[in-house]
Amino acid sequence: MARFRQTVLFAVRETSDALLSPHIVRHRRVELEQQLEALVQYLEPADQYVAKRSVTLRQPRAEFRSSRSKLH
């Protein structure tokens, strides 16, 4: 999922850069703006997944927590 997120971020950057062009025709600008909105919608769940995953990886697993309490 982290790679997917990076790919979407790259696409957002590329789309944003394209929108900055002063030579872009109106119908293409509308298409790119719609594409950017869709990309952001993909990014939000990816961010949530990555954030949840990083919290889960930081927490000790249940079986390790119970075994530590028996050592003292």
For residue 20, give both structure tokens.
């900055």
Render pLDDT for 26-71 as a digit per residue (tens, 0 to 9). 999 999 999 999 999 988 888 888 888 877 766 665 554 554 444 4
For residue 11, give both structure tokens.
């696409």
State yes or no: pLDDT of 19 exceeds 70: yes
pTM over 0.85: no
Residues 34-70 as b/e (b if ≥16 CB within 10 A, e otherwise) read ebbeebeeebeebeeeeeeeeeeeeeeeeeeeeeeee
